[in-house]
Amino acid sequence: MKNFVDFFHQVGKLKDLPRRGWVLIGAKDPASVSDHSFRMAVMAWILAEKKRKINLEKVIKMALVHDLCELYAGDITPYDYGHLPKNKEDWPDAFDKWPRFSKSKKIKNFLKKQKKEKESLVKITSKMPDGVKKEIMNLWQEYDRGLTKEANFVRQINRLETLLQAFEYGKESQSRPFNSWWIGSEEQIDDPALIKCMLEIAENFYCHEKKK
Amino acid sequence: MDTENQKFYLTKHGLEELAKEYEDLKKIRMAKTKGEAPSIWESEDLNPDYISFKEDIELLEARLLELENVLKNSEIIKKPTGKKAEVIDLGATILVEVDGDKDEFILVDSYEANPILGKISHHSPVGKALIGHRVGDEVVISSPIRSIYKIKKIKYS
């Protein structure tokens, strides 16, 4: 049981790890990695229920563990690969654009991040029983590589939750949300139900606000 | 991405990669059944992701089943000829300029999509909007945040 408690303690540290994107735009009380994973799990559960032939248990577990690796690897954003202005005050403005990379740089960034995250996950789960360790690692690998329909769905939920949070920040601060999350989502989400949800989020938190 | 009884439209490269993965994983399964250390571990072009299959036979079997289904129901995206090759469609590699920055992506079917690596689904809002356009076109996506995709080059391979 001691190893379980150690593991739960490590997972709990994600409550204090703010998501880097929100830190970079200067959000006052940035949501943590735990906040993000929790709402993702709820969204994945509710939105996957309407889908046929999808393993709901796997979807929810995947959403819960997909960012455990950030405990030691950190939350790495695409902006961390050379897309941040030198002056910290200018960081939020970088989020008006979705960062663009060459094909080789995309592959390089992906592999670099993957290596770091895998090492972190190995460390976090090191004292867990083999069965749990394997399940967490397999769920994460499936997610990371987008190997299955569940992984493909959860990757899109990841974008959707982030988009919702970005629009919520925009509404709270009475400012426009940064374009980046919307543009990224339009390239990354292709599930019809999730596209519908994406448009509803925009209607509620952006278009509606603009009409006021 | 409902993968049963579904037709998978894949790029030639995507199909080759999946077929190679399938053959490599079969070798690993065969060696594991015989209790041997697969020679594939010494191969220089070994995909580092295969390491997880070394330990986990259930994951290996699940992936093999998935690949079997995809390979059985797959069709290579046909390379368009003549005037059709000047227009964006499934399988096109597109050089674009978005809000002043250059980017390159390939338009693929949902199964092959991996936006982080520049493989954009033709069912995504951006994918759908780009289809049918030509070099020189400016595709405005404004739902609700406006961005402009300037088409610089289209190629099919």
> A53 to chain B, minimum CA–CA distance in Å?
7
Residue A31: predicted pLDDT: 94
CA angle A188, B112, A44 (to 5 degrees): 50
Closest in B52, B99, B114 to A141, CB measured: B52
Distance CA A175, CA A171 (A): 6
The CATH number linked to A182 is 1.10.3210.10
B134 bridge partner residues: B87
Residue B145: predicted pLDDT: 81
Low-confidence ranges of chain B (pLDDT < 50): 2
* Phi, psi dihedrals of residue B2, rounded to the nearest 5°: -85, 110
User: Would an 8 Å CB–CB cutoff place A152 in contact with chain B?
Assistant: yes
> Mean pLDDT, to the nearest integer, of A171-182?
77
Q: Output the DSSP codes for A13-28.
A: GGGG-B-HHHHHTT-S
Put simply, the answer to whether B2 touches A183 (Cβ < 8 Å) is no
Chain A residues closer than 8 Å to B1 by CB: 149, 152-153, 191
Residue A155: predicted pLDDT: 96
pLDDT class of A58 with cuts at 50, 70, 90: very high
Kindly identify which residue of chain B lies nearest to residue A96, measuring between CA atoms: B99
- Residue A92, token pair as written in the block: 């939020």
Number of structural domains, chain A? 1
* SS3 call for B152: strand
Residue B45: predicted pLDDT: 53
Closest in A138, A179, A187 to B59, CB measured: A138
Interface probe for B, chosen from A186, A191, A207, A209 (most Cβ of B below 10 Å), is A186
Kindly identify which residue of chain B lies nearest to residue A150, measuring between CA atoms: B1
Lowest mean per-residue pLDDT among A34-38, A49-53, B45-49: B45-49
User: Would an 8 Å CB–CB cutoff place A52 in contact with chain B?
Assistant: yes
Residue A102: predicted pLDDT: 86
| ipTM of the prediction | 0.87
- Quickly count: other Cβ atoms within 10 Å of residue B125's Cβ: 21
Domain extent at residue A12: 2-211
Residue B156: predicted pLDDT: 92
> Mean pLDDT, to the nearest integer, of A160-171?
91
> B94 to chain A, minimum CA–CA distance in Å?
12
pLDDT class of A208 with cuts at 50, 70, 90: low
Domains of chain B, each with CATH number or no CATH: 8-76 (1.10.287), 82-155 (3.10.50.30)
Residue B127: predicted pLDDT: 95
> Mean pLDDT, to the nearest integer, of A54-71?
95
pTM: 0.88
> Mean pLDDT, to the nearest integer, of A169-180?
77
> Mean pLDDT, to the nearest integer, of A141-162?
92
Lowest mean per-residue pLDDT among A4-13, A76-85, A190-199: A76-85
